[in-house]
Amino acid sequence: MRRYLPTLLLLAFAFVTSALAQTAPPNIVVILADDLGYGDVGFNGCPDIPTPNIDSIAANGALCTNGYATHAHCSPSRAAIITGRYQQRFGYEWGPDLQIINTALGLPMTELTLPQLLSPAGYVSGAIGKWHLGVQLNHFPTERGFDEFYGFLDAASPYYHAALYRDETPVIETEYLTDAFTREGVDFINRHATQPFFLYLAYNAVHSPYDVPPAVYMDRVGYITDRARQVYAAMTVALDDGVGQVLQTLQANNILDNTLIFFLSDNGAPSDAATGGGLSNNYPLRGYKMNVLEGGIRVPFAVQWTGRLPANQVYNDLVSSLDIVATAAAVAGISLPMDRVYDGLNIVPYLAGEQVSPVRTLFWRQFGLGPTGPPVCDPSIWAVRSGPLKLIVERAKDDKPPALYNLINDIGETQDLAAIQPADVTALTKLYAQWTLDTIPPIWQKPIGISEFLPLVSAGDWNGFNKDDPNPPWSLTTITAPDLQGTPDGFNWFTNTIHVATTGGDTTPGTHSFTLVGAGSYLTQWGGVTINIDNSTDIPFFAGSALGPPNTISFEEGYYSFRILNRFEDQIGNEMRAAVMKTSAPPITVTRGGQTPANPGPHDPITVSIATSQAKSVEERIYLRWSTDLFITSQLIEAQGSGVSYSATIPPPHQAGKPLLYTIITSTADLTAYSTSGDRCLQRDAADPAIHHDAACQ
């Protein structure tokens, strides 16, 4: 649905198709704001922050009132923008942790990015600003299809004296960061004005930290008396000025008519947003960043292409950031690869009024295991919108049935219609369930807690109670997700194996005392309990100026494997859960040999072959664990065999068209009591770090 928008600026660009636009593929510019509130731009009615340049994109093109990001926080949203695919298709639901050295932690290398798609058509591509899709060298923008990069890799940066990269070389920026990114964007356009280009200008404004902008911006919003709001407004004004310089540069190079421009935010404003003001503003929406209410996912969204699209439109049908790749590929004359699903649409024909907009269904999910997961693990929140109706499980009510809203009549999501429209609840629930079948669980979980207390050392009588011992097995090995061999459920683990022997071992049989010490500091200790064998133990936290209460553990001859699973929330100040397994031989590792049949039907038993690294000890057990709901609940069966060859069979029936995922785990505990349980903690605590997910029944 389209209606026309009054011109927001006296100066408007004419709707003229130039000769260049007819003969050359268009340039593509994506201007991405960071955490910008829905109500903090003029075209959405902001009363106190002037954004004339951002508004001009809407005035000279289309204001998309129902423009959506795919996720309620930064990194997953960007993964969808740059790939054109729901990030849940490839397990990307959290941002990477800058302090974890893991080459697999970031946008999966199997995913194609927009610059990679555009390159065969002769486009030069530049990424400027915030990346947030991986920090190891193989994930740098210049390794993912961009020809040039100037910006930072992590979630946030200070606005002054920022540590950045030019391509892959570290630099220190001396200008105010928003101005610096504008400078680089203008320079990129000037240098590449004679060839097709893709500019991804991903400002970090108006994300925290809320460093006070230069006086030239603060003075222009001096009428705002609330200091926090004034700083935020000045940050927005700097962003808007940058957008204006980009538009002026395109015009000066006579390429504005042949440039497709997207302006949007990666998600809604953060939780300090308030309808009555405050720091940032999502009005008239309810909710904020990190939630799937409208305030977290509906964003300022405008599209301009003066050589192709009419001006002064208001487009009220659904638009998604997923549409950027599909639209860019279409206007560049590129066919998207057929080996994967692309979730966006080429929206140019709809914005141009040449075709009737389809009724669309959009989906959102922040996956969580809830009470069946690690301590303080949140349940999943999710939403589906089809036409005017939205079904949602929001964070504050994640233990309640989903609510139903009609967003045309109730943009603030205040009137739950679920009780009076049960048929719509059922229909939307089915749509969400069907979409979920084409997604996978996160390949890594929320990156909180692990870096706060590394290294983690067992300071005990075996090493002179040395909290700084760097040597294994006393300094525990960190396994971070996603590991090349896989970690259970995408969580980060600490592990070691202690060889206990009268001679020649790491320590001797008998009773020992030790304290777990994190980060070499007595302020982060865990101790004071007796450690269970072939079970898990919750170890209390302790902070002091010397080594605290010790744990005691009794060893016999053999091998003892420690497994410590990182909490979902901060570990500091909370107990630590450790599992210890005893074996008479070194613990095995397991790999999947294959499955029979390769493409099972609903009534076929599925037999999985399993190979071990060596003959297992009599204490170890091998289990096959499977699930049809992304491992929120699961079943398991013990594998049978001998030597290094084992197998386990998943019995039929299997629901046709519904993926079945399975993993291989090892344990010295008898887990058969949990064969139909949703309790994942014991299974995970006792699991071998190797894990394998496979779609068994399609």
Please compute the mean of the pLDDT values over residues 485-498 and round it to a whole number: 76
Q: Which helix (H) or strand (E) holds 185?
A: helix 177-191
pLDDT band at 278 (very low <50, low <70, confident <90, very high): low
> What is the phi/psi pair of residue 450, to 5°?
-70, -40
pTM confidence score: 0.89
User: Do 480 and 450 contact (CB within 8 A), yes or no?
Assistant: yes
SS3 track for 140-179: CHHHCCCCEEEEECCCCCCCCCCEEEECCEEEECCCCHHH
pLDDT digits (tens, 9 = 90+) for 144-159: 999 999 999 999 999 9
341 class by beta-carbon count within 10 Å (0-12 exposed, 13-18 middle, 19+ buried):
exposed
**What does the angle CA 479 – CA 485 – CA 489 come to, to the nearest 5 degrees?**
70
Average pLDDT value over all residues in the chain:
89
C-alpha–C-alpha distance, residues 50 and 8, integer Å: 11
- Residue 268 exposure: Cα atoms within 13 Å on the Cβ side: 29
Which residues face 264 on adjacent strands?
32, 301
CB 17: neighbour CB atoms within 10 A? Answer: 12
| CATH code of the domain occupying 590-685 | 2.60.40
C-alpha–C-alpha distance, residues 621 and 109, integer Å: 34
Highest mean pLDDT among 375-384, 429-438, 450-459, 620-629: 429-438
In this prediction, residue 456 carries a pLDDT of 93
C-alpha–C-alpha distance, residues 564 and 378, integer Å: 20
In this prediction, residue 683 carries a pLDDT of 32
Confirm whether 74 is a catalytic residue: yes
C-alpha–C-alpha distance, residues 73 and 537, integer Å: 34
Tell me which of 10-19, 319-328, 496-505, 613-622 is least confident: 10-19
Please compute the mean of the pLDDT values over residues 174-197 and round it to a whole number: 98
Which residues lie below 8 Å from residue 49, measured CB to CB, with a gap of 6+?
40, 41, 42, 221, 233, 236, 237
pLDDT digits (tens, 9 = 90+) for 563-596: 887 666 677 888 998 999 999 999 898 989 999 9
User: Do 539 and 527 contact (CB within 8 A), yes or no?
Assistant: yes
User: Do 201 and 244 contact (CB within 8 A), yes or no?
Assistant: no
pLDDT band at 10 (very low <50, low <70, confident <90, very high): very low
CB 656: neighbour CB atoms within 10 A? Answer: 10
Closest by Cα among 44, 56, 59 to 6: 59
Which residues face 595 on adjacent strands?
608
- Residue 409 exposure: Cα atoms within 13 Å on the Cβ side: 7
Which residues face 622 on adjacent strands?
666
CB 538: neighbour CB atoms within 10 A? Answer: 13
Which residues face 591 on adjacent strands?
611
In this prediction, residue 666 carries a pLDDT of 87
Please compute the mean of the pLDDT values over residues 356-368 and round it to a whole number: 95
Q: Higher-confidence residue: 268 or 634? A: 268
Tell me which of 233-237, 389-393, 684-688 is least confident: 684-688
In this prediction, residue 480 carries a pLDDT of 84
Residue 379 above 60 pLDDT? yes
Identify the sign of the CA torsion 677, 678, 684, 688.
Answer: positive
* CATH architecture, domain 363-436: 2-Layer Sandwich (3.30)
Residue 4 above 80 pLDDT? no
Please compute the mean of the pLDDT values over residues 497-513 and round it to a whole number: 97
The active-site residue out of 74, 377, 681, 697 is 74
Domains of the chain: which residue ranges? Answer: 2-11+20-357, 363-436, 450-583, 590-685
* Token pair in block for residue 113: 């990015």
In this prediction, residue 492 carries a pLDDT of 81
Q: Higher-confidence residue: 199 or 447? A: 199
In Å, what is the CA distance from 658 to each residue of 144, 263, 439, 608, 649?
33, 38, 11, 18, 18
The active-site residue out of 71, 73, 132, 693 is 132
Residue 226 above 70 pLDDT? yes
* Token pair in block for residue 184: 């680089």
Please compute the mean of the pLDDT values over residues 498-513 and round it to a whole number: 97
C-alpha–C-alpha distance, residues 648 and 630, integer Å: 20
Percentage of the chain exceeding pLDDT 90: 75
User: Do 506 and 494 contact (CB within 8 A), yes or no?
Assistant: no
In this prediction, residue 522 carries a pLDDT of 96
pLDDT digits (tens, 9 = 90+) for 435-485: 998 998 899 887 666 667 889 999 999 999 999 999 999 999 988 888 765
Q: Which helix (H) or strand (E) holds 327?
A: helix 323-331
SS3 track for 588-606: CCEEEEEEECCCCCCCCCE
C-alpha–C-alpha distance, residues 675 and 289, integer Å: 38
In Å, what is the CA distance from 506 to each residue of 182, 263, 456, 560, 588?
58, 60, 18, 11, 19
pLDDT band at 488 (very low <50, low <70, confident <90, very high): low
In this prediction, residue 14 carries a pLDDT of 31
Which residues face 497 on adjacent strands?
561
In this prediction, residue 216 carries a pLDDT of 98
| CATH code of the domain occupying 2-11+20-357 | 3.40.720.10
Residue 72 above 70 pLDDT? yes
Identify the sign of the CA torsion 562, 563, 567, 570.
Answer: positive
Residue 685 above 80 pLDDT? no
In this prediction, residue 271 carries a pLDDT of 80
Identify the sign of the CA torsion 35, 39, 42, 48.
Answer: negative
C-alpha–C-alpha distance, residues 258 and 431, integer Å: 39
Tell me which of 95-99, 275-279, 397-401, 411-415 is least confident: 275-279
C-alpha–C-alpha distance, residues 130 and 200, integer Å: 10
pLDDT digits (tens, 9 = 90+) for 402-431: 999 999 999 999 999 999 999 999 999 999
399 class by beta-carbon count within 10 Å (0-12 exposed, 13-18 middle, 19+ buried):
exposed
